[in-house]
Copies of this chain bind each other. A is one copy, B any other.
């Protein structure tokens, strides 16, 4: 199972990167807020496994996982978080605005939801230029409350654009649970009224996610319109920052338990030959420590760079 190995590698790579980010964070080398995706990696890994280089993904400020899964440059990502000139935004974006146009990662906004129409615009361009490419737009559950989500769904469906919206429903926007934000949880049903095939995935399986993405993407390449996936998940860490926050009173550690028990990283590891897991681990550790070393060694931008890139 080649794709099993590939998925595991991606999952594990993301996990190791995120844990390293969390580890170094208190030393203040990272010059941005960080929104970790630990626990949610299976979504980005599963979805991006269905994509090709000509495809695009739109990510969020909680975008490390999808950036990595789509093949974004890891060195440039870590350097960006360190505020270095070699960062993917030359230190002008920070961790909330990762981009790698070469890898098809089209950027992230720190204003929740606002990347949804931008991603839709990429899909419009893909359709117009007949590239055969598709766009995946990752969003959180909170982003679906913004008006531009409804506006974008309608437009994407009206023009039958090749875009897959993936909602990572971790049940919270910062510390506010769905019950305080959603009148009902009939999100997929709502999206379906636009004529968009919509499916909810609750089993936490990277394979289920991958299969659903493959199916949706295949239909789009055949000229089908948009599709929608709502994928339940759990955010293991605090909203922003490196720590757990189950002691803060707004949610209980029980919420994590079932997710931790079926952690995809561990589950996939257990199904691969130990030697292979070990080899992957060695490789990943080398890659990750090289990336942090690269970031560390890279120079900061200098004052004189400030005015670059205001205009093209």
A positions within 8 Å CB-CB of B? 145-151, 153-158, 180-184, 186-187, 189-190, 193-196
Contacts and interface: CB of A to CB of B under 8 A. Distances in A.
Nearest to A225: B183
A215 B156 CA distance: 36
Nearest to A160: B183
User: How often does this chain occur in the complex, in copies?
Assistant: 2
Given A156-B183, A158-B181, 11 more contacts: A145-B151, A145-B154, A147-B147, A147-B148, A147-B150, A183-B195, A184-B193, A186-B194, A186-B195, A187-B193, A193-B193
Contacts of A186: 193-195
A12 to B, nearest CB: 38
B194 A184 contact: yes
Nearest to A180: B158
A225 B193 CA distance: 22
A155 B151 CA distance: 17
Contact of A150 (B149, B156, B157, B189): B149
Given A184-B195, A190-B193, A193-B186, A147 B157 contact: no
A183 B194 contact: yes
A162 to B, nearest CB: 15
A269 to B, nearest CB: 39
Interchain residue pairs A-B with the least CB separation, the first 7 = A147-B147, A157-B183, A150-B150, A190-B193, A186-B193, A158-B183, A183-B194
A182 B281 CA distance: 50
Nearest to A158: B183
Nearest to A113: B147
A189 B183 contact: no
A124 to B, nearest CB: 14
A186 B154 CA distance: 11
A250 to B, nearest CB: 18
A119 to B, nearest CB: 16
Contact of A146 (B151, B181, B184, B193): B151
A48 to B, nearest CB: 27
